[in-house]
Amino acid sequence: MQGVIVFAHGSRDPLWRAPVEAVAEQIRRTDPHAKVACAYLELCAPDLQAAASALLAEGATKVRVLPLFFGMGKHAREDLPVLMAELAASHPHVVFEQLATAGEDPRLTALLARIALEPRT
């Protein structure tokens, strides 16, 4: 069973989480069978390990991690691979897949360009 973790930096401001949770909700609407959770690197919960454990408890056997970082900065380049290795070591029977950061996907950059150029109504 497919699981998806929408992974972001985190913030103490609870309003900051709304767009992250909106991505998770869109995934649920797109595939009602997918197990979806949000996770945060710091400043709020749950962390990646807790989110993965929750998905596994729901029956996920493969988990994709979508990093909602715009670029390949230190968190995506250094911190996340360490966390992914820890997940794999903690749950050797589960396939964990780290997706590219959101900003590295040319579909997202194309969408942002269209949004910037579309006429306002």
Catalytically annotated residues: 9
Task: Give the C-alpha separation, 38 to 23, whole Å.
Answer: 9
Q: Is 1 helix (H, G, I), strand (E, B) or coil?
A: coil
Which of 65, 78, 77 lies closest to 8, judged by CA?
65
